Amino acid sequence: MSAVGERDGGDRGAATVWTLALLGVVLLSGLVAAAMGAQAVARQRVSTVADVAALAAAQSVVDPCGEADRIARANRMTLLSCSPDGRDVILTVGSASPDLVRRVVGLLGHEPDDVTATARAGPPDDPLTAVAVH
């Protein structure tokens, strides 16, 4: 039995262990949130490049897929597919996942998928035929 004012040594250091555990959880949560943000930015960037490449390809008279590939490479991405469909062009652009995402997913023993986006562009419809006549 301990005297009044004396502490039992059984809980000594428990606050330090809990503080370190909580700090680890907070740091891990921050790392996951940063990786998710990086993936969202990469997805948006690939989508934008796919849209721009499709628009450039649709306006190209000579080589639409060559123009789309030029736009993709200028943005450090890869043109994965390109197919003119009449006056439209349908294409897919891809990029590797950001380094942070690859490292975080790699800690779990997996490899993240590449980020891809598909876009379609073509000349606008003829305004005279697009308007419904009542």
- Three-point CA angle 72, 37, 105, nearest 5°: 90
Distance CA 118, CA 47 (A): 7
pLDDT of residue 67: 95
Q: Residues 60-111: pLDDT tens digits?
A: 888 999 999 999 999 999 999 999 988 889 999 999 999 999 998 888 889 9
pTM for the full predicted model: 0.74
133 has pLDDT over 70: no
Per the prediction, the chain carries an average pLDDT of: 86
Over 70: is that where the pLDDT of 7 sits?
no
